[in-house]
Chains A and B, each alone.
Chain A
Amino acid sequence: MKVKRAAGGKIAIDMTPMIDIVFQLLTFFVMTLQITTAEGDFNIKMPLAAPRAGVPDPNQLPPMKVRLTANSDGTLAGMSMNDRTFSGADRWRQLHNHIAGVVGDGSLAASAEVELDCDFNLRYSNVIEAITAVSGSVNPDGTIVKMVEKIKFSPPRPETGG
């Protein structure tokens, strides 16, 4: 580094190379900056269906089958679980409350499982809405109350069906 000793004994450091590098770094970071939205995940464990060995666990709840039907344009036509149908603008809330009623105070949440049976041409955003409704809810303070964590899909329906 070039060091100049001035007449008064003061050492003047040449700042030019450092400023060059700093500006290059700044340019790099500005140009590589990508403004993206935050993303999150829903976990699904789906081994290929195999015959289960041994005696079934008596504490294991049978999967709650949620049926989602689609219109020809892929929008959600109807939603049902067993004999109960959910409709209207707050259908996801209805589904959430119904599942919450089945699962109870949370003691059964660990073993509860939801199976999504969807029409082939149903828009995928509806599946995420359904998973959100059965997975839990967000409190006003931002904390997440988990409900069902085991989610799986039924075998895919044929494209012409439903």
Chain B
Amino acid sequence: MKVKAKPAEMVEIDMTPMIDMTFQLIAFFMILINFDAAEQDERIKLPGSALAKPHDGPLESPITLQVTRNGATLIGGTLYATPESLTPLLKSEKYVMESQGKSEKNATIIVRAHKDVKTGQVQKLIKVCQEVGFEKFTLRAKEEVGY
């Protein structure tokens, strides 16, 4: 029997709904992206507070100090065993600010301390910063539902 071959037929899929959905997903993830999360560390479990609210605007010259459960301080991935060992780093930060025409008195030290760390360790850290010349501190806490 003679079979007649059909000419190849090209099937066109309508891509519009898929592209729509993909763009919506991209928009969703773009809105959700949080650059502040970069300073968060899994070793630090913050205490919770109903009154802790984010700042309205960006902080002036922020320096984030993270205090682990055993009292060590973490800055930019480097662990400092004692608050006193931070002094050279804080002094260099101060000199950088001065060279930029800024004052360390206006800089904000953000303290992200573990909820179970000894309070004395946090106070010692604040004292070391005070001795260098920093005056403004911010204690960071996790937002909770109010009582």
Contact = CB atoms under 8 A, between A and B. Distances in A.
B19 A41 contact: no
A34 B41 CA distance: 12
A43 interface: yes
B interface: dominant SS: mixed
B29 A41 contact: no
A42 B136 contact: no
Given A22-B26, A136-B51, A46 B130 contact: yes
A37 B143 contact: yes
B59 to A, nearest CB: 8
A144 B26 CA distance: 35
Contacts of A36: 34, 37, 40
Contact of B53 (A29, A41, A129): A41
Interface string A104-137: 0000000000000011111111111101100111
Contact of A19 (B19, B34, B49, B142): B19
Interface in B90-147: 105, 110, 113-120, 122-124, 126-127, 130-131, 133, 135-143, 146-147
B140 A41 contact: yes
Given A33-B29, A44-B137, A153-B126, A38 B51 contact: no
A73 to B, nearest CB: 10
Interface string B63-98: 000010000000000000000000000000000000
B15 A19 contact: yes
Given A120-B119, A135-B51, A153-B126, A39 B142 contact: yes
A144 B51 contact: yes
A46 B111 CA distance: 13
A42 B139 contact: yes
A22 B141 contact: no
Interface of B: 15, 18-19, 22-23, 25-26, 29-30, 32-34, 36-37, 40, 46-55, 67, 105, 110, 113-120, 122-124, 126-127, 130-131, 133, 135-143, 146-147
Interface of A: 15, 18-19, 22-23, 25-26, 29-30, 32-34, 36-48, 68, 74, 93, 118-129, 131-132, 135-139, 142, 144, 153, 155-157, 159
10 contacts: A29-B26, A34-B40, A39-B36, A39-B54, A44-B137, A46-B135, A48-B133, A123-B119, A138-B50, A138-B147
